[in-house]
A and B are shown apart, each in its own frame.
Chain A
Amino acid sequence: MSHAALIIATPQGLYCPSGDFHIDPMGRVPRALVTHGHSDHAARGMGAYLCTHQALPVIRHRLGRINAEGVAYGERRQIGEVTVSFHPAGHVPGSAQIRIEHRGEVWVNSGDYKTAPDALCEPFEPVRCHTFLTECTFGLPIFHWQPEAEVLAQMAHWWQANAAKSCASVLLAYSFGKAQRLMAGLAGLGAICTHPVVEDVTAILRAQGYPLPPTTVLQGAPPKGALVIATPNAMATDWALGLGPHEVASASGWMALAARRKGTTAAFTLSDHADWLGLNAAIAATGASQVLTMHGYTQPFSQWLRAKGLQSSVIA
């Protein structure tokens, strides 16, 4: 017997008809289940928000006054005719996959996820399901991530070499998630300073109890040989003029591509998303017979899954 779809695409975003709620909607809806606090998943204007306890503080910081509630990982909630629960996605602190069960049929929306563990966020947990909605930001076989420890060692080496010539090291990273993953991974090697935008999020996560090293918000020149963690945007502002002698490097999965490294003096390939093998392993671990693709190389990735014998199509 085939079940009706538990998640469908609508103009506002993904929608669960049996539960009457949206997941990570971008258009205004009455009820939103949100996987994590990045702005392409958590948007303003929803009537009510539901996310993990761990994701809530950053979402409140970014969205202002909202009607929001937190749930524990694994806690089951009845919404309409379905039972929902949130499970660690390993992408950023508090990030979740959302499991939806309706009369024995189980669908899971992955949100954004990373299968390899890091020093900061709740590690990815595979969830068995019949249908898996997977992101595929890096869903092509040219994306293979080095182990995090190797990339962190390269960063530490770069930082030390800069410090030896009395240069500050400026690492460019997204302000929520990657920035804190870097400081957690490089803790104990020297002074770490932050751009104010990075510091705001860091302070929130530190107050939540995430293991983050002490950081100093930077206004003016950094101490000699310090590591400065900033957003790429910050480098085009007057703030950057106060940095004094420094070297800049970017940290992103996109740095795997020569075209994206162009114009950077140093680049580290470090992603908060699963790589090609990670995506394929995560899909296999769900046991799902149907996989719907979203965010990224949705067409070729879906074609690849069909070639492997799965039912697959693009959902968003």
Chain B
Amino acid sequence: MIRFATFLAQGTPTPEAFAAYAAQVGTQDASTAQALLSGQRPKRIAAPQTLLDWVAEATHTPPFLVDACLKVAPDKAEVAALLLPLPTDGTRLTLTATLSDLTDRAAYLQLASALPLPARQILNRLASGTFRTKLTGQPESSQSPGTCLAILTLIDPSGPEATFALPHGNALVPLTRLKLTLPETPAILAWAKAHTTDRFGPLRQVTPAQVFELAYDGTTPNTRRKSGVDLVSPRLIAWHPSLTPDRATPLDAVK
């Protein structure tokens, strides 16, 4: 269970990260995790409010304190996880065993009390039917890997991270935000420092002049994005200082 939480704590689970996790935990937990991450949820044993009621009662927390906590952390499952004292020594239960034990109030309280916080928060999502994490690249997405030439538009020095955009008509539309991992990162940041056109807190808007090659494993439609699309496992391949922005890939070609 703790390994599953550690795996999820690494961020959006990629197939590579899942393979590494599966190799650690053996076939039974790997197949349980695979099922969870493909959208098969375990039977919900209680709503978040009920989990919170159970924990508040078990820890003798009066209602006015629960209300004060919810003002600070509005998520009921989170408050339920935080109210229980930390375990003095960790559980060794597997993900599969945890799920099969998770049946009622007594079982939940025993399991939750023995887990450290990150794993307890996952347990609460599984118990309350609010676990929604999925492996990237699985739900209706295009599985065709591709590359594109995108334009650097924003830099966040504290990553350092950069936002890349693609031309759409006369506009530049943000496509994805990636950590700057290229060996030329110091030179890219030095260029950005000299070409900052505006600042929004730590974010620096830079002259849209530098072209980068990105690769991805597929695309997923997402109406909440200006571009209308999420890239699956996007990564930064190369900086092409010799290319001009008119060489960038049009957004429609990626969708």
Contact = CB atoms under 8 A, between A and B. Distances in A.
Interface string A137-151: 000111110100000
Interface string B77-115: 011001101100000000000000000000000000000
A236 B62 contact: no
Contacts, number: 76
A143 B79 CA distance: 10
A5 B181 CA distance: 61
Interface stretch (A47-55, A115-123, A183-191, A240-248): A240-248
A248 B73 contact: no
Contacts of B26: none
Given A140-B72, A243-B157, A238 B193 contact: yes
B139 interface: no
B159 A141 contact: no
A140 B189 contact: no
B61 interface: yes
Contact of B158 (A143, A238, A240): A240
B79 A142 contact: yes
A234 to B, nearest CB: 9
Interface of B: 11, 59, 61-62, 64-65, 68-69, 72-73, 75, 78-79, 82-83, 85-86, 121, 157-160, 180-181, 185-186, 189-190, 192-193, 201-202
A277 B88 CA distance: 14
Contact of A257 (B11, B65, B72, B160): B72
Interface residues of A, number: 31
A213 B79 CA distance: 38
Contacts of A242: 186, 189
14 contacts: A140-B65, A142-B69, A146-B86, A170-B158, A221-B186, A236-B157, A236-B201, A240-B160, A241-B190, A241-B193, A246-B160, A248-B159, A257-B78, A304-B65
B124 to A, nearest CB: 12
A245 B201 CA distance: 21
A307 B61 CA distance: 11
B71 to A, nearest CB: 9
Given A242-B186, A243-B160, A304-B65, 16 more contacts: A140-B65, A142-B72, A144-B82, A146-B86, A170-B158, A236-B201, A241-B157, A241-B160, A241-B189, A245-B181, A245-B185, A246-B160, A248-B158, A277-B85, A300-B64, A303-B65
Given A142-B83, A236-B157, A236-B202, A259 B73 contact: yes
B139 to A, nearest CB: 24
Nearest to B79: A142
Nearest to B186: A244
Nearest to A139: B68
Contacts of A246: 160
Contacts of B189: 241-242, 244
A303 B85 contact: no
A221 to B, nearest CB: 7
Identify which of B59, B75, B157, B159 gathers the most chain A CB atoms within 10 Å of its CB: B157
A256 interface: yes
Nearest to A266: B9
